Amino acid sequence: MKKFTAIALISIALVSCKKETKTITKVDPETGKTVTVEVPVQDSAKAENSAVSAAAIKDSLGVYKQSFKLEKGKTYPLITYQKDVQTMTAPDGKTQSGTSETTDEMSFTVNGFDKGVYDITINLLGKRNSQSANGKSIVVDTKLAEPKEEQLKMMWKVNKALVGNKLNLKMDESGKVISITGFDAVYPKISASLGTVIKDAKQKAAFVNSFKESFNEKILKDQFSKNLTLIPAKGAKIGDKWSQSENATPDGKIKLTTNYTLKSVANGVATIAVAGGIPHKSDKKTQEGITRSMSSELSQNGTITLDQNTGWIKNQHITVKTTQTETLSDGKQTQSMKSVSNSTVVVNPAK
């Protein structure tokens, strides 16, 4: 009986010496890498709190703020895909539809982080445009051969000259873009790509100047600020809403309003709901006995997810519906034309 008692005591001692462990995910403060480690249960809560404090999107008293914790040597994607399906309805009720798709592919490689500023190389990787209507399709893709159609060759040559280039981005930890450089090396390549497509020197110069207006530091700064830094600087609690407004027309009379809601921050992902648009607008004018009525509206809905550890955008999926109606009337007869566009905008689409 004493032997059994002794064995039981030894077993109890062994069990009491064995510590329960728990696997957790945390950010290594030295490398910025996300690692999985096994820690004693009593230390897991402390370790998890440490991991949260090192995250790019973290809360203080329930208020979440966004920053960026990017790893040196790592490359982060920013691929934008947009699909537009437009349907036109003629006065006789007949409809005609067309579909267009565009893909812009770039990535961001972190070269270093010094004094609160990231040094990043922007890699311009690829561009694809496609259109289909009436059973016919055309594709211009920098990853494919030059199209045979003369009217498509110029677009392909310009896009091909653009991809493969690199820009330099300086961005602080909060996501503020300090500078983007490298454009001056790109513009001559665009001009050279026109080759024999545009022979007239003035026309070629005009095209390059037009290209510069759409591809420059200011344009990309605005684009990156809009797509990368989503949570306002003051922070947001779960359920908080905020809005951004931008001009939908050159004169600024019509505004596009985007409403954001912080839905959740869980399992390493911050989820933001997107809504808003342009309220219904109408205008009526009469000239020489003909009354012309115009109406339009735009609505958008979707979701954006951010990586809580890095602050980088994981995915965006937003649908946009635009409706425009034009009516002409002389008091006796009325004709109406309607255009409906359904668009899908996706950032970093799932593979």
Residue 170 has pLDDT above 90, yes or no: yes
If you average pLDDT over every residue of the chain, what do you get?
87
Considering the domain architecture, whether residues 141 and 283 belong to the same structural domain is answered as: yes
Q: Considering the domain boundaries, does residue 50 fall inside one?
A: yes
Considering the domain architecture, whether residues 99 and 64 belong to the same structural domain is answered as: yes
pLDDT for the residue numbered 35: 55
pLDDT for the residue numbered 36: 60
Residue 3 has pLDDT above 70, yes or no: no
Considering the domain architecture, whether residues 146 and 265 belong to the same structural domain is answered as: yes
Question: 14-36 burial, b if ≥16 CB within 10 A, otherwise e?
Answer: eeeeeeeeeebebbeeeebebee
Give CA–CA dist 285/288, Å, rounded: 10
Q: Considering the domain boundaries, does residue 6 fall inside one?
A: no
| Rounded average pLDDT over 31-54 | 52
Residue 200 has pLDDT above 50, yes or no: yes
| Rounded average pLDDT over 221-233 | 91
Considering the domain architecture, whether residues 65 and 131 belong to the same structural domain is answered as: yes
Considering the domain architecture, whether residues 168 and 81 belong to the same structural domain is answered as: yes
Q: Considering the domain boundaries, does residue 96 fall inside one?
A: yes
Considering the domain architecture, whether residues 29 and 175 belong to the same structural domain is answered as: no
Q: What is the pLDDT of residues 106-139, one digit of tens each?
A: 999 999 999 999 999 999 999 999 999 989 999 9
* DSSP state string for 227-258: HH--S-TT-B-TT-EEEEEEESSTTS-SEEEE
Residue 195 has pLDDT above 50, yes or no: yes
Q: Considering the domain boundaries, does residue 289 fall inside one?
A: yes
Nearest to 197 by CA among 154, 162, 149, 146: 154
Q: What is the pLDDT of residues 267-305, one digit of tens each?
A: 999 999 999 999 998 889 998 889 999 999 999 999 999
Q: Considering the domain boundaries, does residue 300 fall inside one?
A: yes
Considering the domain architecture, whether residues 134 and 33 belong to the same structural domain is answered as: no
* pLDDT band of 1, cuts 50, 70, 90: very low
Q: Considering the domain boundaries, does residue 299 fall inside one?
A: yes
Give CA–CA dist 35/25, Å, rounded: 6
Considering the domain architecture, whether residues 124 and 165 belong to the same structural domain is answered as: yes
Residue 167 has pLDDT above 60, yes or no: yes
Residue 25 has pLDDT above 90, yes or no: no
Give CA–CA dist 102/99, Å, rounded: 10
Considering the domain architecture, whether residues 49 and 86 belong to the same structural domain is answered as: no
Residue 326 has pLDDT above 60, yes or no: yes
For residue 118, give its domain range.
55-347
> What are the phi and psi torsion angles at 130 (to 5°)?
-145, 150
Residue 173 has pLDDT above 50, yes or no: yes
What's the number of domains the chain is made of?
2
Residues above pLDDT 90, as percent of the chain: 71
Q: Could you give the C-alpha distances from 328 to 71, 90, 214, 322, in angstroms and in order?
A: 59, 12, 36, 20
| Rounded average pLDDT over 144-155 | 91
* pLDDT band of 37, cuts 50, 70, 90: low
Considering the domain architecture, whether residues 70 and 201 belong to the same structural domain is answered as: yes
pLDDT for the residue numbered 54: 80
Considering the domain architecture, whether residues 33 and 137 belong to the same structural domain is answered as: no
Considering the domain architecture, whether residues 29 and 62 belong to the same structural domain is answered as: no
Burial class (CB in 10 A: 0-12, 13-18, 19+), 138: middle
Q: Considering the domain boundaries, does residue 309 fall inside one?
A: yes
Residue 105 has pLDDT above 90, yes or no: yes
Residues above pLDDT 70, as percent of the chain: 85
pLDDT for the residue numbered 27: 45
Helix (H) or strand (E) holding 74: none
The alpha-helical segments, DSSP class H, found in the chain are 2-17, 41-54, 150-162, 187-194, 201-214, 217-228
| Rounded average pLDDT over 18-43 | 51
Q: Considering the domain boundaries, does residue 9 fall inside one?
A: no
